[in-house]
């Protein structure tokens, strides 16, 4: 039975957000016997509610609350009110994610040491190493059922993968397979295996893809130690005169303000909402925002170097059939500055349905150059390019000076300028992607610009020294002992890999730490 806790219960861990970070942390704490409540801004939609319909699903689960954008990134022009393509629902963006589950490479925890000084970048080494995180990566992979780990076979390759693989072979790439995917290739953990439906981004209709919504939270609820409150938007974190957090104020589903007391608060609202909440929690004691003595809250926003390449072929591909992202080439993920940039990138299969292809192939474009591309839809193969982008202090989340949300809280502005390293990497990736498709006979290729951000990272980053970041190696605020950050905003640097596995590994590690600290009454 799911728990129901009292608003005045001050013995709880209160988690803001139920995605990869918050949903995993809450479940793991509950399994350890720690009473936990998750406040989720979105509603609870179950598998049967998901839609194989791109715009219908977008309207159902996306985070569409008002946001503004600035900076030179193209998203600010084409999707000015939609900097990020993420989910507002129980399960968070683990409903929308494609399932790619990759570990960081060792050097990616040591970006500053490995890459050296990069002008304009605010690079820093993580305060943890791959060796420290490895046991938790292993637990995360087992828990999520990642293919090609724990003896789980890879997914079968779909049409889109077969094109990718043929091109990769022609180019001499060696590290190409159907990916390490948190999508069941065989029944596991009470969940079915993949039916090659497509629509991975719209919520998996079989539950084969891991999501906190159905693979974690119900297990936590079954302990009686976890309560998930949907439609509860946290507006402010409160603290006592000593600077310890005491609870949160939130608006419930009816718009009424509630105050939930807490022993520990963990923020996991994704890299836009989490810093926004800390900034909106400014007080006399924390005039620049909670946990922000470093001034780094909201800064160093990363979104991964991204882009897509679509190729049109003489014959049909039907890329949309089957698992969206079960295909990867990792040969370019290495750090090799001779390519003209630091860090690396992955090439991963991607497909969009016709409605989204029309919206995202080349936003704003019209005329025959554009429509003849869509005429080739059935003959298209597609890949996503995802690589490490540079943290820059100016990129980030600030509170809008005038615009307020329906609760009267300032909305977030998301500012982003590409770093020259990001541009150089993207151009290289576009070239390699086009070469790959050309090698198997593409008649046209399209270097498609980044979509609104799905990988939002770095805005409350981990640092060894309190002056360089917001949280320590456990995700604990440098300034406030009983305040944690549990989502991708922890990332000191972004690595080339899709971030979810790392977020889950960090959440499992953080759960151990919180339990240990609570056990010692240190928090």
Partner 1 sequence: MSQAIHGAIGRRGFLAGTASAAAATAILVSGGAILKPSEAWGYEVKALKPGTMRTLVRMARDIYPHDRLADRFYVVAVKPQDEAAAKDPAIRNLLENGVATLDAAAKSKHGTPFVEVGWEADRVRLLRGMETDPFFQKVRGGLVTGLYNNQEVWPLFGYEGESASKGGYLERGFDDIEWL
Summarize as ranges the residues that interact with partner 1 (CB under 8 A): 52-55, 156-159, 162-163, 166, 194-199, 205-206, 313-318, 320-322, 353-355, 357-359, 364, 366-368, 370-371, 374-375, 377-378, 440
Q: What's the min distance (Å) between Cβ of 167 and partner 1?
A: 9
Beta carbon nearer to partner 1, 47 or 235? 47
Nearer to partner 1, 175 or 374 (CB): 374
Please, how many CA atoms are within 13 Å of residue 7, restricted to the half-sphere of its CB? 9
39 vs 383, which CB is nearer to partner 1?
Answer: 383
Helix then strand then coil, in percent of the chain rounded to 5, is: 30, 20, 50
437, 311 contact by CB (below 8 A): yes
Query: Which residue lies nearer to partner 1 by CB, 98 or 140?
Result: 98
The answer to whether residues 344 and 334 touch, using CB atoms and an 8 Å cutoff, is yes
> Phi and psi (nearest 5°) for 104?
-60, 155
Q: Look at residues 499, 457, 462 and name the one whose alpha carbon lies nearest to residue 125.
A: 462
Distances (CA, A) of 507 to 253, 382, 432, 465, 496: 27, 32, 35, 21, 20
Closer to partner 1 at the Cβ: 22 or 157? 157
20 or 194: CB nearest partner 1: 194
> Which lies closer to partner 1 via its Cβ, residue 288 or residue 375?
375
Based on CB atoms, which residue is closest to partner 1, 63 or 320? 320
Q: Are 406 and 66 in contact (CB under 8 A)?
A: no
Residues in CB range of 391: below 8 A, 6 or more apart:
121, 122, 123, 124, 300, 301, 302, 458, 461, 492, 493, 494
Q: Please tell me the distance from the alpha carbon of residue 328 to that of residue 32, in angstroms, as a whole number.
A: 36
Q: Smallest distance, Å, CB 434 to partner 1?
A: 18
Smallest separation (angstroms) from partner 1 to the CB of 216: 23
Q: How far is the CB of 195 from partner 1 (least distance, A)?
A: 3
The whole-angstrom separation of Cα 457 and Cα 171 is 32
- Considering beta carbons, is residue 145 or 391 the nearer one to partner 1? 145
| Smallest separation (angstroms) from partner 1 to the CB of 318 | 7
Q: How far apart are CA 76 and CA 4, in angstroms?
A: 42
Answer for the pair 456, 215: CB distance below 8 angstroms, yes or no.
no
User: Smallest gap, in angstroms, from Cβ of residue 82 to partner 1?
Assistant: 13
Answer positive or negative: Cα dihedral of 228, 490, 129, 390: positive
Q: DSSP string spanning 13-66?
A: EEEE--SHHHHHHHHHHHHTT--EEEE-SSB---GGG--S-HHHHHHHHB--S-
CA 92 to chain centre: 9
Min dist. Cβ of residue 162 to partner 1 (A)? 5
Smallest gap from Cβ 163 to partner 1, in A, equals 7
Token pair recorded at residue 177? 């397979």
Q: What is the largest CA-CA distance in the chain?
A: 70
| CB of residue 275 to partner 1, shortest distance in Å | 31
CA distance 444 to 373: 8
Q: Please say which residue, 85 or 377, places its beta carbon nearer to partner 1.
A: 377
* Nearest distance, CB of residue 349 and partner 1, angstroms: 12
Nearest distance in Å: CB 519, partner 1: 45
Whichever of 52 and 283 has its CB closer to partner 1, that residue is 52
Residue 521 CA, chain-centre distance (Å), reads 32
Pick the closer one to partner 1 by CB: 52 or 113: 52
The angle subtended at Cα 453 by Cα 387 and Cα 58, nearest 5°, is 135
CB of 46 to partner 1, least distance (A): 14
């Amino acid at each position: 039975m799911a728990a129901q806790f009292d608003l005045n219960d001050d013995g709880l861990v209160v988690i803001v957000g139920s995605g990869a970070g918050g949903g995993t942390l809450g479940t793991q704490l509950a399994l350890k016997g720690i009473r936990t409540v998750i406040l989720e801004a979105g509603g609870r939609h179950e598998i049967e509610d998901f839609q194989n319909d791109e715009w219908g699903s977008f309207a159902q689960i996306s985070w569409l609350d008002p946001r503004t954008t600035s900076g030179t990134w193209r998203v600010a022009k084409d999707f000015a009110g939609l900097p990020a393509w993420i989910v507002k629902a129980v399960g968070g963006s683990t409903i929308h994610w494609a399932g790619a589950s990759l570990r960081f490479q060792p050097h990616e925890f040591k970006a500053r040491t490995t890459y050296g000084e990069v002008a304009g970048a605010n690079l820093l080494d993580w305060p943890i190493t791959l060796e420290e995180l490895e046991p938790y990566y292993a637990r995360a992979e087992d828990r999520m059922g990642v293919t090609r780990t724990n003896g789980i076979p890879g997914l079968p390759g779909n049409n889109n993968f077969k094109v990718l693989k043929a091109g990769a072979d022609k180019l001499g790439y060696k590290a190409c397979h159907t990916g390490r995917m948190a999508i069941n290739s065989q029944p596991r953990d009470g969940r079915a295996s993949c039916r090659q439906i497509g629509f991975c981004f719209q919520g998996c209709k079989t539950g084969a893809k891991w999501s906190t919504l159905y693979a974690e939270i119900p297990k936590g609820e079954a302990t009686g130690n976890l309560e998930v409150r949907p439609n509860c938007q946290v507006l402010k974190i409160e603290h006592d005169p000593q600077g310890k957090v005491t609870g949160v104020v939130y608006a419930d589903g009816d718009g009424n303000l509630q105050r939930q007391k807490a022993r520990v608060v963990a923020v996991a609202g994704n890299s836009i909402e989490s810093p926004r909440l800390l900034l909106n929690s400014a007080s006399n004691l924390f005039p620049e925002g909670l946990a922000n003595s470093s001034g780094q809250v909201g800064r160093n926003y990363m979104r991964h170097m991204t882009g897509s390449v679509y190729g049109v072929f003489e014959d049909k591909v039907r890329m949309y059939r089957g698992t969206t992202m079960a295909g990867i080439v990792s040969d370019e993920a290495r750090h090799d500055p001779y390519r003209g940039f630091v860090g690396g990138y992955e090439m991963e299969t991607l497909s969009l349905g016709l409605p989204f292809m029309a919206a995202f192939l080349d936003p704003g474009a019209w005329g025959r150059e554009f429509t003849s591309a869509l005429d080739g839809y059935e003959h298209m193969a597609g890949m996503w390019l995802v690589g490490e982008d540079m943290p820059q202090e100016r990129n980030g989340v600030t509170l809008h000076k005038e615009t307020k949300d329906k609760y009267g809280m300032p909305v977030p502005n998301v500012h982003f300028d590409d770093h020259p390293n990001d541009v150089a990497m993207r151009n290289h990736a576009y070239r390699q992607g086009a070469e790959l498709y050309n090698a198997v006979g593409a008649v046209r290729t399209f270097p498609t610009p980044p979509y609104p951000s799905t990988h939002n990272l770095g805005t409350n980053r981990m640092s060894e020294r309190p002056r360089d970041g917001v949280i320590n190696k456990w995700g604990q605020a440098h300034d406030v002992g009983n305040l944690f950050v549990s989502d991708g905003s922890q990332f000191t640097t972004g690595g080339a890999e899709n971030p979810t596995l790392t977020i889950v590994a960090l959440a499992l590690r953080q759960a151990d730490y919180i339990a240990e600290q609570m056990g010692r009454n240190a928090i």
